[in-house]
Amino acid sequence: MSTIQENMLDAYWQLPPISRTLATAAISLSLPVHFGLLYAGWFIHHPYYLWQLPPQVWRLVTSFLITGPKLGLIFDTYLLYQYLSQIEAGHPRFQRREDVAWYLMFISGVILMTDYILSITLDVSNYFYLQGLILALAYTVTQDQRGMKASFYFITIPAQLTPYCMMLLNMLFQGPGMLILQLEGLFAAHLYDFLTRIWPEFGGGRNLLPTPAFMSRLVQTPRILQRAHGTAFRPASADSGRATGRTTGASTGPLPDSWRTRGRGQRLG
């Protein structure tokens, strides 16, 4: 393998893992679908498929991974990675991977339930939901960027208006059906924001949507690997180190490691 290929692989594996995985899955699944190599009907979502035996549960995931055709292959994948990586790598409200995973599960679930309700009441339904997810990601990212400016194609706008400009542009070029899907994403993101930030900060309540404890076990990589010729230990990651410090009370700092294990200090005098 050449040095250039090795550098590209190294750069790829250094990307935020959840964003990297979803963007790769989206482009890998969408390319054969749009080129006619895979049947798109295998990946759409409809409640009918969940009631079959066995239930086709993969559709709950694949329906969020199909991009638009043509330039949508590039732009949708880019926007998915761009906004999700900002949440995963630098958003102050998502300090752990399990927080990001729980956010994605909640947003996706609300979009699916909202779409199902609209399909019953208004006979309006969608089968692919990536555009709604991207709009939700953009809303979550830009809510903490108030007062900042963002570039939207060729114009500069207040950052918090980015999701609404995306909705307007897609409505002009793709029609009202896309607008309904993005409104579902906007509703899901606003509901998450209300339950986790607005209500605790301004309503005097508590976080109504905390990350469940089982999510930590799902996203953590086991450190011990049993092999035929012995046992291998994975080095602790930076995230696990921070989590251990928060749990045990130990902290990194100028004190030697032996001092940090002495427990809580007592004030003299």
User: Is position 50 within any domain?
Assistant: yes
Mean pLDDT score, 104-121: 94
Contact status, residue 130 vs residue 67, Cβ threshold 8 Å: yes
User: Is position 258 within any domain?
Assistant: no
User: Is position 102 within any domain?
Assistant: yes
Boundaries of domain holding 72: 1-219
pTM: 0.79
Percent of the chain with pLDDT over 90: 49
User: Is position 166 within any domain?
Assistant: yes
Phi, psi (5° rounding) for residue 21? -70, -45
User: Is position 7 within any domain?
Assistant: yes
Neighbours of 55 (CB within 10 A): 11
User: Is position 229 within any domain?
Assistant: no
Mean of pLDDT over the chain: 82
Q: How far apart are CA 262 and CA 201, in angstroms?
A: 37
Neighbours of 53 (CB within 10 A): 5
The domain spanning residue 193 has which CATH number?
1.20.1540
- What is the model's pLDDT at position 222? 52
Q: How many domains does the structure of the chain reveal?
A: 1
- What is the model's pLDDT at position 78? 94
Task: Tell me the pLDDT tens digit for each residue of 28-53.
Answer: 999 999 999 999 999 999 888 988 88
User: Is position 59 within any domain?
Assistant: yes
User: Is position 150 within any domain?
Assistant: yes
